[in-house]
Amino acid sequence: EKEQLLKLAELPSVTQDGVTLTLAANISSLKELEAALGNGAQGVGLFRTEFLYMDRMYFPSEEEQFEVYRSAVQKLKGETLVIRTLDIGGDKQLDYYEMPEEENPFLGFRAIRFCLERKDLFKIQLRAILRASNFGDVRIMYPLITSVEELRAANEVLAEAKRELQEESVPFRADIKPGIMVEVPAAVAIADILAEEASFFSIGTNDLIQFTLAVDRMNEQISHMYEPFHPAILRMIRTVAHAAKAQGIPVNICGEIAGDVNALPIWLALGIDELSLSAQAILPVKERLLRSKASDSRKLLDDLFRCRTSMEARELARQFYAGAALAP
């Protein structure tokens, strides 16, 4: 069966009725990129760069980061590489950097907050990414954006990095405009505003579920409450998709739920442009996609948004594919 799936790797990822949904990869290393490409990944939708910073003695240099980013984009042969800037803190700590003791690290000093406090380190990463952009289709993505101010502040550091490189006559793609992770409820609520200043959205459902449902994603005691099909989550995803469409920017899903085949009709119905998946989820989702019709999935959407409970919504989505919707 694995061999059957592998045959799908080469096929274009398009539904029976001609709707394209890009299936990109989530990676955290060059090794994972190889695995993803082997499964037919169309580019990388989320490069979690924090792993470059972990399990070592000091911050990675610009040169070191540049080498990794360039290697990655070269391996992609023209396909897109979305590099997420450092998302440290929360559950991810550095051995060589003393982070403050925090009562609620996921709500604390992490991700873009850390980078805007340590602009020196942030700029080193942005310079490395910009330099790699000269070798292929590189995009920048900021994590944990909560406000327009944050996005602008990050873009100011980026502008400074660009100015420096220009002065040093180091080549990079000048038109690089960052996108953002939408993974905090505040960002969902102002998605219409953010869509005017970001070049794309990538919905990080892992954190979005945690923050929206107030369920610590690491806490096993309450893991049964961690529910992607909660009507609140479905509505938030719809809000973000609509805001992106209204502004004409791409909208992607990069949380784990993107790998749930039963959620596929939701993405098709909402016009999601790309899923970013762990390597092993790409082919099962593709198999489902190739047998789907986007037009059928739109019928599901109305019913889905009428569901009052997570269980109803989850069951409805599951039955949709178990039923007649799949082409033979």
Q: Give the residue numbers marked as catalytic.
A: 254
CB within 8 Å of 112: residues ≥ 6 apart = 85, 142, 143, 144, 145, 150, 154
3, two tokens: 């061999």
- Positions touching ligand PEP (CB under 6 A) are 46, 48, 87, 183, 204-207, 254-255
- CB nearer to ligand PEP: give 184 or 294: 184
The amino acid present at 18, given as its one-letter code, is G
- CB nearer to ligand PEP: give 160 or 216: 216
Q: Which of ligand PEP, Mg ion, none does residue 254 bind to, with CB < 5 to 8 Å depending on kind?
A: ligand PEP
90 binds Mg ion (CB under 5 A): no
| Helix ranges, the chain (H) | 2-7, 30-38, 50-53, 62-75, 111-117, 119-132, 148-167, 185-189, 191-194, 205-212, 231-247, 264-270, 279-290, 294-306, 310-322
| Residues in 169-188 at the binding interface with Mg ion, rule: CB under 5 A | 183
- CB nearer to Mg ion: give 260 or 296: 260
* x-marked contacts with Mg ion along 206-245 as a string, rule CB under 5 A: -x--------------------------------------
Contact with Mg ion (CB under 5 A) among 204, 228, 259, 265: 204
Least CB distance to Mg ion at residue 191 (A)? 16
Q: Is 139 annotated as a binding residue?
A: no
Closest-CB residue for Mg ion?
Answer: 207
Least CB distance to Mg ion at residue 143 (A)? 6
- CB nearer to ligand PEP: give 146 or 292: 146
Buried b (16+ CB within 10 A) or exposed e, 82-115: bbbbbbbbbebebeeeebeeeeebbebebbbebb
Rounded alpha-carbon distances, angstroms, from residue 289 to 148, 203, 270: 35, 20, 15
Stretch that binds Mg ion, among 16-24, 76-84, 203-211, 244-252 (CB under 5 A): 203-211
Residue reference for tokens 């973000």? 240
Strand 44-48 relative to strand 179-182, pairing: unpaired
Least CB distance to Mg ion at residue 199 (A)? 19
Q: Is 183 annotated as a binding residue?
A: yes
Least CB distance to ligand PEP at residue 257 (A)? 8
Least CB distance to ligand PEP at residue 86 (A)? 11
**What's the rounded Cα separation, in Å, for the pair 3 and 38?**
12
**What's the rounded Cα separation, in Å, for the pair 257 and 164?**
40
The amino acid present at 22, given as its one-letter code, is T
- CB nearer to ligand PEP: give 110 or 131: 110
Q: Which of Mg ion, ligand PEP, none does residue 274 bind to, with CB < 5 to 8 Å depending on kind?
A: none
Known binding residues for phosphoenolpyruvate are: 48, 84, 206-207, 217
Tell me which residues touch Mg ion (CB under 5 A): 183, 204, 207
